[in-house]
Amino acid sequence: MIVIGGSASTNLAEKVAKQLGQEPGRIEIKRFPDGEKYIRIHEEVKGQDVALIQSLYRTPDEYVFEYLLIADTLRDMGAASITGVIPYLAYARQDSRFYPGEALSSVSIARFFEAVGTTSIITVDCHLHRLGDVSKVFKIPAQNVSAMTLLGRYARDNLRPKRPIVVGPDEEAEQWAGTVAKELDAKHAAFTKKRIRKEGETKSRVVIDTGNVDVKDQDVVFADDIISTGGTLAEAARACKRKGAKRIFVVCTHPALADGALKRIKAAGVSRIVGTDTIPSPISTVSVAPVIAAALKTRS
């Protein structure tokens, strides 16, 4: 299998290739003076299985289009299969038409990827609040792998929480809290969250309900898939402080970190925030390369 990284995931592609005992496939990506992208693949891909790694963060539209150009070129050059490895699948959160006329972006993205010859998909901790499973969005085989075991081990070995409880800041995050808790040999729980978004606005306000979860005198480790604005975790951390929690840590897969998110979360009393390299960031300490490589191994 040839592993190729788009410009969003050059470093991650190198790490994944290394895990598989090979060099990453050579690709040239430049920009023409007018802003268009120039793509050239310097590998013989005819009859080969190719894994194309491209995470869709910060400038997702640019990276989506670049993915489409590369995949279409691979198909045209005769690649036997194209596995789209999309560590952070942008647009997954818009999986419902909340107001009439809104784009169902998660479905549209899936159609675009399929249209250029992608034969299967691997994502990492994909956010599919209402659908629950990435294979329900794509018509081609789609697999989700999780970074939560790696994050749990990192927390155990490096954060070393005392009397830990692992908490998902909302209902969907309970699954991730459960996986992290196993590594810490701790209990886990989940809060409930309401997001209030007014019609015509893209920003929303978050209201967290801690229910009867007891965090008094315990170290809390939050586990979540994405930190976007940090509003969810800041609210959840403040709620824990009010209930008498000791130290608060956060582990998350995708540090999207929009809009001063780190500052916002730290100001709420969080001691350390750890993320992965699905999105390069100042907190991307844990690499998802091993879980991606393991998933690719089962296909080659």
Site mask for ligand R5P (CB under 6 A), range 193-212, x = bound? -------------x------
Mark residue 23 as left, alpha or beta (left: phi above 0; alpha: psi -120 to 50; beta: remaining): beta
Of the ranges 81-89, 104-112, 228-236, 284-292, which one interacts with ligand R5P (CB under 6 A)? 228-236
Please give the Cα distance from 131 to 112 (Å, whole number).
19
The residue from 136, 162, 182, 193 that is catalytic is 193
Task: Give the range of 49-57, 110-118, 140-148, 165-173 binding ligand R5P by CB under 6 A.
Answer: 165-173
Secondary structure (DSSP) of 122-186: EEES---TTT--GGGT-SS-EEEE-SHHHHHHHIIIII--SSEEEEESSGGGHHHHHHHHHHHT-
Residue with smaller CB distance to ligand R5P, 11 or 192:
192
Contact between 173 and ligand R5P by CB under 6 A: the answer reads yes
Beta strands in the chain (DSSP E): 2-5, 27-31, 37-41, 49-53, 81-86, 120-124, 142-145, 164-168, 187-190, 192-196, 205-209, 219-227, 248-255, 272-276, 284-286
Sole binder of ligand R5P in the list 89, 167, 227, 292 (CB under 6 A): 227
Q: Among 230, 273, 281, 288, indicate the residue that binds ligand R5P (CB under 6 A).
A: 230
Residues 98-137 that bind ligand R5P (CB under 6 A): 127, 129
Q: Quick one: which of 66, 95, 170, 219 contacts ligand R5P (CB under 6 A)?
A: 170
Tokens of 156: 């155990």
- Could you tell me how many residues of this chain bind ligand R5P (CB under 6 A)? 16
User: In 10 A of CB 195, how many CB atoms?
Assistant: 12
Name the residue nearer to ligand R5P (CB basis): 2 or 167.
167
What are the distances in angstroms from CA 54 to CA 3, 202, 252, 279? 11, 25, 19, 10
Residues contacting 173, CB < 8 A, separation 6+:
190, 223, 224, 225
Based on the shown chain and the rule CB under 6 A, indicate whether residue 172 belongs to the binding site for ligand R5P. Answer: yes
Q: Closer to ligand R5P by CB, 148 or 226: give it.
A: 226
Residue 229 found at the interface with ligand R5P (CB under 6 A): yes
Contact flag: residue 231 with ligand R5P (CB under 6 A): yes
Is residue 85 at the binding interface for ligand R5P, with CB under 6 A as the rule? no
Are 210 and 243 a contacting pair, CB within 8 Å?
Answer: yes
Nearer to ligand R5P, 81 or 123 (CB): 123
Active site residue 193: yes
Query: Whole-number minimum distance, CB 258 to ligand R5P, in Å?
Result: 7
Stretch that binds ligand R5P, among 39-47, 48-56, 157-165, 218-226 (CB under 6 A): 218-226
Backbone phi, then psi, for 74, in 5-degree steps? -60, -45
Residue 270 binding ligand R5P, by CB under 6 A:
no
- Do 172 and 129 contact (CB within 8 A), yes or no? yes
Residue 47 C-beta: closest distance to ligand R5P, Å: 41
Rounded to whole angstroms, how far apart are CA atoms 43 and 25? 6
- The residues that are catalytic are 193
Binding residues vs ligand R5P (CB under 6 A): 127, 129, 169-170, 172-173, 206, 224-232
